[in-house]
Amino acid sequence: MEPKGIKGFIMGTNFASDCEGFNRRNFLRIGAGAGLLGLSLPEILKLEAQSAAKRNGVSSSKKADSIIMVWLAGGPATIDMWDLKPDAPEGIRGEFKPINTSAAGIQISEHLPKMAKIADKTTIVRSIYHSIPSHGPATVFMTTGNKPTPALQYPAMGSLVSKLVKGEEGVPSYVSFSDIRGGTAGSSGYLGTAYNPFLVEGNAGSADGKGSKGSLKVRGIQLPTDFTLEELNNRDKLLAGFDSTFREVDKKADLIQGFDAFHQQALDILRSDKTRKAFDLTQEKPETRARYGADNFGQSALAARRLVESGVRFVTISIGGWDTHNKTFESHSKKLQPTLDNTLSALISDLSDRGMLDRTMVYCAGEFGRTPKVNKNVGRDHWARSMAVVLAGGGFKRGYAHGTTDGQGMAAATDPCLPDDVSSTIFANLGIDPKTELNSSTGRPIQLFREGTVVDKLLA
């Protein structure tokens, strides 16, 4: 029988498509009766998996075990969030007032009051920049830590973590609540399909707005209704018999090796209670669920915390709608900032209250910022030359703002850093040397972050 309660994965809120006409695709459906096992995950792994390079060691100096990435799809106007310019000319400074925070000398938007209260637990990087004002390539840069190139597809940070950081048995290492930009970002790149995210689907939001219900489905970690483990094992034996034929044809085939390894991983997840229990949000106190927010985004953040508790190493949750070419102040004040403020503050506070923040990093970012100059539609356009991100936990300083931008927010003024520098610093906290080399499927050695350097000032 299907267990009671909320059992599934929650999709981050998608408020709108971006200006390039992209709407996030529906989540990958894993196991809706497809294939001999009722799983698409092992089937996909069978079709696409390639052999992986030998696992690299992790330094004993690591300060964190897991990462939760909060992705702001569309490019947030960080000049109206984390780096306000109240003294800039009209048409640049925006409509929002800065407010003081719990971190001395740091001010943020008036529409982020809950984040202001926990600013003493965060680091704001105000001097990050790059040169790609297009959604797709910029997303790849920010999620991989490597500037995109047509010669090579770099793996997402979650895929790197899946390969390099030992996970718990019975749970996936890398879980994503969104197929970021249709899979053009967030995927495993040259590492091969084995290290793609374990994609999830569902809706944790409730019609009554109280978070008491949610229409969720567990795909790939829960058997179809009326399908038992015994039936699964019988079909697995049958499939193993078929596979022996292929092994005889080519015992060294990467396809067969990949399938064997990752089919077994899928079975281990199915047979384990860890992941299923992590998604049973009814085990949380009602006040905890309400604290995160009753919508999809809020409940996905709560599930992310529970996943990390169960041993998952990298979780991506996302919220869309940040591509605000029109009526940016209205969108930010009424919807975007209040939603993010409530959920992100709840996540960081909850991790801290449970003693998990020391070993868990939270990384909140989008693909780029927005133009300092407000356009004729009372919006802000794409701007990669200055932006801000928020970090918390796992070895980062607390109550710290790193770097500055000039008086009009046009460009970094002090301590400039690139996305690959931030990624390198995140991996340093995991105890992984950013200069570590991995091999592609063709045996080519590739450095994790080809141009990134660790930003020592960000470290506690």
Task: Render pLDDT for 5-55 as a digit per residue (tens, 0 to 9).
Answer: 433 333 444 555 578 765 544 333 333 333 334 444 544 444 443 333 333
Which amino acid is it at 441?
A: S
Residues 6+ apart with CB under 8 A from 234: none
Q: What is the DSSP letter of 186?
A: S
Which parts of the chain sit beneath pLDDT 50? Answer: 1-13, 24-40, 42-58, 60, 207-221, 223, 225, 227, 229, 232, 235, 238-239, 241-242, 244-262
Spatial separation of the C-alpha atoms in residues 367 and 387, rounded to whole Å: 9
Q: 449: closest CA among 147, 135, 137?
A: 147
Residue 455 is predicted with a pLDDT of: 98
Residue 237 is predicted with a pLDDT of: 52
Other beta carbons within 10 Å of 59: 11
Task: Return the biggest CA–CA distance within the chain.
Answer: 73
Residue 44 is predicted with a pLDDT of: 44
- Judge whether 372 and 80 are in contact, CB under 8 Å: no
Residue 247 is predicted with a pLDDT of: 47
Residue 36 is predicted with a pLDDT of: 37
Under CATH, what is the fold of the domain 65-211+284-458? Alkaline Phosphatase, subunit A (3.40.720)
pLDDT digits (tens, 9 = 90+) for 107-150: 999 999 999 999 999 999 999 999 999 999 999 999 999 999 99
99-124 core/surface letters (b: 16 or more CB in 10 A; e: else): eebebeebbbbebbbbbbebbebbbb
Spatial separation of the C-alpha atoms in residues 203 and 193, rounded to whole Å: 26
- Global pTM? 0.81
